[in-house]
Chain A
Amino acid sequence: MGNKKDFGWYACCIALFLIILPLGNVLGFVSGNTISLWGRYFCFAIVALGVDLIWGYTGILSMCQAFFFCLGGYSVAMHIVLRGATALGINGIPMPDFMAWNQVESLPFFWVPFQSFGLAVVLGLLIPAAFALVFGYFIFRSRIRGVYMAIITQALALAMWLIFLRNETMLGGTNGLTDFKTLLGLSLSTPGVKLGLYLLSLLTLGIAFWLSTKLVDSKFGKVLQAIRDSESRTSYTAYRVMHYKLAIFIVAALLAAVAGMLYAPQTGIITPGRMDVRASVEMVMWVAIGGRGKLKGAILGSLIVNFLYSICTSLFPDSWLFILGFLFIITVLYFDKGLLGMLETVVAKLGRMRKPAAEPTGREVMQP
């Protein structure tokens, strides 16, 4: 019963995002900006999947996902900027213009690997993963959980944001990295490349969604949910809670990093503003608004909130923070299960039939 309806939803989404929007773009109905915009929303949805895995399914409130997102974004951005670099360092290696303005003599050592695209991608995944591993190890080892975890990760996000803001860390300071020209020899400003990145983001989102559903339905996923519901009992039944938490922390960080990598070339700029504490909290809120503990809810929430943001900032620029604030409060107070939960309740009431409350994930769909 539910499967058929789910199938209808998926068909709608695929028709809209995979066929109508790209086709419209090719035929000229849909502007390149709209395509880029939705491409970016898909990136946010990928992050939201990670947030949902770690918060919705494991109950760990991590407030530094935006930092991992930016680690991915910066690594790709560094590669692109290096390719477009015109200034020459003392040793003849090209370096980005902002370094020349800051009187840097030659390319800093940690920029060197980013000259190759492959290394940039690998590092963009490896650095966040390693970061999550080390930081997570120390945090989970000392059984920091719940609110303490949220506060510590928030402090991490704050500290990293401050570091990226500095000029001497050679990451562009407040202005971030911008002026992106080409990626793998393709000009980033052409409509074709924009459409390609859009489709790539959509595809990645699909794969990430499919893998995440697999993950939460596996035994591993069940243990995660057990940890969420009662951590002590899970550990009493001889599961190594810390290993599970650490693993999911890394997975969430990786999802965020992948999203960041896709995000940077589509926006054309990446600044530390993307990784401040508020950005991380907003990512958590997408999931809360969409429906925590449901992967579809995470995607729905991130798409809707960001779509709303785009509309509101162009229509009533000053009111966005009010709207977001009220959304936070109302969602938490009255719609504990988020939009998806509300939708299900409404559907259930309309159809006058009771559905089992658990297992909202659509596991059959998206399989070939």
Chain B
Amino acid sequence: MNCIQKVWLVILLSIGMGRGAIAQQADSISIRVAAVLNPPNDTARSQALRYLAAQKDPATFPLLAAINDKKLYTLDGKPVTTGEGETSGGKEVFTVFYLYPQNKPAATKLPAEQLQKVEISRSERLILNVVLPYLNLTSHDPQKRIMAYGQLVDAKDTGKIALLEKALKQETDPGALTAGREVLFQLKLNETASEHQAKAYIDSLDQNWGENVGLILKNYAEKGNVVSARAYAAEKVKSLESLQGRIEKAQNLFSGISLGSILILIALGLAIVYGLAGIINMAHGEFLMIGAYTTYCMQSLLIETLGVKSDLYFWVSLPASFVVAGVFGLVLEKLVIRHLYARPLESLLATWGVSLIMVQTARSIFGDLTAVKAPAFLAGGWQLMPHLVLPFNRLFIIGLTIVVVSLTYLMLYRSRLGIRIRAVTQNRTMSACLGVETRRVDAITFFLGSGLAGLAGCAMTLIGNVVPDMGQTYIVDSFLVVVTGGVGKIAGAIVSGLGIGFLTKVLESFYEAVYGKVLILALIVIFLQFKPRGLFPDKGRIAED
């Protein structure tokens, strides 16, 4: 009892030092809060709760929310609630949040025994029903706060503007602030009767540029209170829409580039292998699938089995998917491909069979759908301007592609291995005569090509699910990249990969995805009329038959 009284004093002192009427109000609230925690008689708690519910002061919302969640405790006499629990040193400890007068987390995590639970009966909790819609205004989760702001729009409560203003004063999250302000301006705009004010609010809405501003202004332009301000709203809607159109285009351009980078990663290996050995590897897409499943396995191994809770698994997966896919490629080369050199049509059919087997195997091992958790450091995006966010995962894919393409270039044009690969590509027999071990070069090239596809698969897990036939979605596209780029040419794969990825996204924004695909095919056929051997054909006059 003594202890509680001390707290009382502390609370009274800390609040009492405030100013004027607000301080007095806070004062009376503090008294009610204390009464809730420790009621002097049977009815005092219900009375206090009724008072708090009627006041609708955002400062008390965390406390009321904790009561509503049946998670109100006291710690040294102060009202607290618990957050996420976790096990540390064999004991379960919780994050503790102080609720009143300030809403803030405690410095240390505490076990549940150190907290005293405050039991509040159901009938007492029911008193809070009138404030329930507003409790989330002070939630710790910005998403919940945004939802709470949104709910205020339709709330039938005269004090809601004042309440919202109070809540917004404490708002720290920029996204939630924008959403809250939007609601505030909307409410004010709908209430005001003066043209001057209405225009000012429309301007504020426009500058605030929240999620629904277009809709709000459009509604106002049609049936706003102030008839003379309607045209102004319509004008703003128009300028907003054109701005949004431009942003959408930029977004499309960006996703086109990232789709293009994936195509490049796949087509690079394909182009090198085809140029070198005349192999059409229909199972190339399945190495993509293997890379993706390697990432998935690494994630389960590191996170679930070894308990490493960090993004380490992703950094391990990158080389692992390269190596695993490469080794599979090597095995395939030894078993099947080696017998099919320079017989492209036969290799196409045989590798198609291989791809059937691999897809079916993956399906029977992993089932139909698995997802890889995107690593935390790639969550979110780079905000260039409001509403134009470049997701980090796509940026990462683009970056990865740039690195991989540069490495491949260095490998092909600046290393001994590269000179051998190019020699065998140009003239296999001559290279063999000059002492190049063509079989070994073939095997290494196949390893590298499959590894590149595996890497692409690892990158794919960042933007999509892992399914057994994920490779087949990309294989035809990536062959088109090889065809338009010219066989065995890095530059060809890059230019046509970017071009096709880019065109796909641009056409998709005009037409449905399907018609975009048909149009691209038509464009490629037309393009091949003029450049039948791709963008960068081999120079030379070797007879074709």
Contacts and interface: CB of A to CB of B under 8 A. Distances in A.
A230 B532 contact: no
A150 B348 CA distance: 9
A349 interface: no
A68 B545 CA distance: 30
Interface stretch (B210-218, B311-319, B512-520): B512-520
B31 to A, nearest CB: 64
Interface in B411-431: none
A152 interface: yes
Contacts of B517: 158-159, 162
B345 interface: yes
Interface stretch (A79-87, A96-104, A251-259, A323-331): A323-331
Nearest to A61: B345
Given A162-B517, A332-B346, A233 B479 contact: no
Contact of A329 (B354, B512, B521): B354
Contacts of A159: 514, 517-518, 521
Nearest to A146: B344
A142 B530 CA distance: 7
B356 A166 contact: no
B336 A333 contact: yes
A141 B364 CA distance: 45
B302 interface: no
Interface string B451-480: 000000000000000000000100010011
B533 to A, nearest CB: 9
Interface stretch (A70-78, A204-212, A214-222, A280-288): A280-288
A138 B352 contact: no
Interface string A151-164: 11011101100110
A154 B479 contact: yes
Interface in B497-545: 512, 514-515, 517-518, 521, 524-526, 528-530, 532, 543-545
B545 A230 contact: yes
Contacts of B482: 151
A231 interface: yes
B300 interface: no
A142 B353 contact: no
Contact of A152 (B274, B340, B354, B525): B525
A138 B355 CA distance: 30
Contacts of A333: 336, 339-340, 350
Contacts of A166: 512, 514
A162 B514 contact: yes
B360 interface: yes
Given A138-B529, A154-B479, A288 B349 contact: yes
B545 A332 contact: no
Contacts of B512: 166
A166 B513 CA distance: 11
A146 B345 contact: yes
B529 A151 contact: no
Contacts of B330: none
Nearest to B480: A155
A143 interface: yes
B88 to A, nearest CB: 46
Nearest to A321: B360
Interface in B360-411: 360-361, 364
A328 B350 contact: yes
A322 B345 CA distance: 21
Given A142-B529, A143-B532, A231-B545, A285 B349 contact: yes
A148 interface: yes
Nearest to B532: A142
B476 A155 contact: yes
B348 A61 contact: yes
B483 to A, nearest CB: 5
Contacts of B355: 325
B490 interface: no
B301 interface: no
Nearest to B525: A138
A139 interface: yes
B365 to A, nearest CB: 12
Contact of A144 (B354, B361, B532): B532
A230 to B, nearest CB: 4
A233 B356 CA distance: 37
B474 to A, nearest CB: 11
B349 A284 contact: yes
Contacts of B544: 231-232
A144 B528 contact: yes
Contacts of A321: 356-357, 359-360
Contact of A154 (B344, B476, B526, B532): B476
B280 interface: yes
A277 interface: yes
A359 interface: no
Given A155-B476, A233-B545, A147 B280 contact: yes
Nearest to B356: A325
Contacts of B543: 232
A208 B496 CA distance: 43
A347 to B, nearest CB: 25
B38 to A, nearest CB: 65
A284 B524 CA distance: 24
A157 B182 CA distance: 50
A152 B484 CA distance: 10
Contacts of A329: 336, 350, 353-354, 357
Contacts of A288: 349
B468 to A, nearest CB: 11
Residue in A162, A166, A232 whose Cβ sees the most chain B Cβ within 10 Å: A162
Contacts of A230: 545
Given A141-B529, A142-B528, A166-B514, A318 B480 contact: no
A332 B340 contact: yes
Interface in A112-150: 135, 138-139, 141-144, 146-148, 150
Q: Which 7 A-B pairs have the closest CB atoms?
A: A328-B353, A325-B357, A325-B356, A332-B350, A321-B360, A325-B353, A147-B344
Given A327-B353, A333-B340, 13 more contacts: A138-B529, A150-B280, A154-B476, A155-B476, A155-B480, A156-B521, A162-B517, A277-B472, A284-B349, A324-B356, A328-B350, A328-B352, A329-B336
Interface of A: 61, 135, 138-139, 141-144, 146-148, 150-152, 154-156, 158-159, 162-163, 165-166, 230-233, 277, 281, 284-285, 288, 318, 321-322, 324-329, 332-333, 336
14 contacts: A61-B345, A61-B348, A146-B345, A151-B479, A151-B483, A156-B521, A159-B517, A163-B514, A166-B512, A230-B545, A321-B360, A325-B355, A328-B350, A332-B353
Interface of B: 274, 280, 336, 339-340, 344-350, 352-357, 359-361, 364, 472, 476, 479-480, 482-483, 512, 514-515, 517-518, 521, 524-526, 528-530, 532, 543-545
